Amino acid sequence: MEPNLTHYLSVKDHSVSGETFELWRDDSLDMLVTLPKPQPEQLGRYYESEDYISHTDAKRSLFEKAYHVVKSIALQNKLSLINALGKSKGRLLDIGAGTGEFLLTAKKNGWDVVGIEPNAKAKNTAIAKGAQFVNAESDLDDGDFDIISMWHVLEHVPDVERQISDLSRLVKPNGAVVIAVPNFKSFDAAYYGEYWAAFDVPRHLTHFSKTAVKGLFETQEFRLEKILPMKFDAFYVSLLSEKYKTGSMNFFKAFLIGLRSNRHAKRNFEFSSHIYVFRSTKKQN
């Protein structure tokens, strides 16, 4: 084990495999890493579940229906955010586009959009709705995008530093990169511990603090412009965490914990998830 890693917590994969993984803390960056990290050819099987909600449009249960109602509100909030980042609507890349809702929302609003999505099922669902994709970042030209978004995706990426380097290459000088990730330093993370649903091992390979995200991006020609809270996430994550901890979705208890988490975050700005907006500091050629 590398000397700057210290053991943090043992966490079970509650949603797919039932296997246990270890979280190790990188003290130099104030972030956690999941070990052992599955090999790329093995990682796909950990997403093979009908309950993996971001890869399906299913509305089979009250929980799934509520998820999609909140998701529709969040989509409009995301659209308002990207519309405020530039003087005009340009070219947008959404990495980890899932079933394509954000891509299509931005496209209808006048953005020129393209997505990347490694999961074939989710990608095919999005294509059927009219979304357009490329296979990988390597298929795209340097400095081609005004906005690049990764909504709860960076935590899934095997090589975070390489991913940020790709973002730096693809975004235009003074373009914006928008990242949303869970925050392991939130109240709900501390409350639920090993049952905190946003650990989501081994699909989540890296677990970020504000310090880690800022530090990783600012070494690769980015300047942090702002951090925004994702207040709905405290309730959604608490609901799943209750299921993992007790075996049932205790809606009232989860609501109270989500409420407490957001109240704590008003004082220390450690919300369940954050949105980070970075501006490219590359020089114009």
Query: Is 60 exceeded by the pLDDT of residue 270?
Result: yes
Residue recorded with tokens 């009908």: 50
Asked, for residue 32, whether it belongs to a domain, the answer is no
Q: Give the residue with greater pLDDT, 52 vs 188.
A: 188
Give pLDDT tens digits for 191-247.
Answer: 999 999 999 999 999 999 999 999 999 999 999 999 999 999 999 999 999 999 999
Give pLDDT, residue 240.
93
Give pLDDT, residue 44.
85
Give pLDDT, residue 47.
86
Of 94, 148, 141, nearest to 118 (Cα)? 94
Beta strand 31-35 with 206-207 is antiparallel
Asked, for residue 39, whether it belongs to a domain, the answer is no
Asked, for residue 7, whether it belongs to a domain, the answer is no
Query: What is the model's pTM?
Result: 0.92
Residue 97's alpha-carbon distances to 7, 106, 122, 149, 249, in angstroms, are 33, 12, 8, 9, 28
Output phi, psi for 162, to 5 deg: -65, -40
Q: What is the residue range of 232's domain? A: 60-280
Asked, for residue 23, whether it belongs to a domain, the answer is no
Asked, for residue 73, whether it belongs to a domain, the answer is yes
Interatomic CA distance for residues 207 and 122, integer angstroms: 24
Query: Is 60 exceeded by the pLDDT of residue 42?
Result: yes
Give pLDDT, residue 107.
96
Give pLDDT tens digits for 94-139.
Answer: 999 999 999 999 999 999 999 999 988 889 999 999 999 999 999 9
| E strand or H helix at 66 | helix 62-83
CATH code for the domain of 78? 3.40.50.150
Asked, for residue 83, whether it belongs to a domain, the answer is yes
Residue recorded with tokens 């529709």: 72
Between CA 175 and CA 183, with CA 178 as vertex, the angle to 5 degrees is 150
Mean pLDDT of the residues in the chain: 92
Tally of domains within the chain: 1
- Reduced to 3 states (helix: H, G, I; strand: E, B; else coil), residue 263 is helix
Distance of CA 250 to the CA centre of its chain: 25
Q: Do residues 104 and 131 make contact, with C-beta atoms less than 8 angstroms apart? A: yes
Range of lowest pLDDT (48-52, 171-175, 206-210): 48-52
Asked, for residue 112, whether it belongs to a domain, the answer is yes
CB atoms near residue 108 (< 10 Å): 11
Give me the residues paired with residue 94 across strands.
115, 149
